[in-house]
Structure 1
Amino acid sequence: MNRAEREGAARQIMEQVPPPVPPDLCGEAVRRGERLLRRRQLVRRMLWLLACAAAVAFSVWAARVHPWAEPPSQTTPPITGW
């Protein structure tokens, strides 16, 4: 297909009458968009809730276990009877 044929095909497509748009297209798009926004908002809230629960669980665990403290040495026996 050369350039003239492509231009002719493009003109023919542009001169055609566009298909009719359904009357409820806008309303359906708005409903769908609102539903997607609500779903994204719910997912975002659930992820924040999960992150906060993980932070609280880690804080409680760290407060009880003290992972930063060095465990007592058990390589040498206690010295008694000096």
Structure 2
Amino acid sequence: MNRTEREAAVRRLLEQRSPQVPVELYDDVVRRGERVLRRRTAARRVMWLVLFAAAVAFTVWALTVRPWVEPPSQTTPPVSGW
């Protein structure tokens, strides 16, 4: 099939009347679409909640541990001048 034949076939397909969708099928599709949207919204909210909880946990950890402060020395300095 060359290019002109393919274009002619596509034109014939586009000129035909589209088939009617059964009402039951339309209702099922709408119901499924609403369910998918609800699940996506719930997943997005859970994701933001987990991200917020992780940020709060990191902030609390950083404020209590203070990793930017140098830890105290574990040994005493040498004593001189006795």
* TM superposition score category, shorter chain reference: 0.5 to 0.7
Give the alignment's TM-score, normalised by structure 2.
Answer: 0.67
Q: Which residue of 1 aligns with 2:46?
A: 46
Instruction: Give 1:29 shift.
Output: 2.3
Distance 1:45 1:11, change over 3 A: closer
Structure 1 unaligned spans of 5+: none
CA RMSD of aligned residues (A): 2.9
Q: Which amino acid aligns with 2:68?
A: W
Q: Which residue of 2 aligns with 1:35?
A: 35
Count, aligned residues: 80
Instruction: Give 1:36 shift.
Output: 1.1
Distance 1:12 1:72, change over 3 A: closer
SS in 2 for 1:64: helix
Instruction: Give 1:56 shift.
Output: 1.7
Structure 2 unaligned spans of 5+: none
Q: Which amino acid aligns with 2:77?
A: P
Distance 1:34 1:17, change over 3 A: closer
Instruction: Give 1:57 shift.
Output: 1.2
How far apart are the structure 2 equivalents of 1:11 and 1:56?
A: 59
Give the alignment's TM-score, normalised by structure 1.
Answer: 0.67
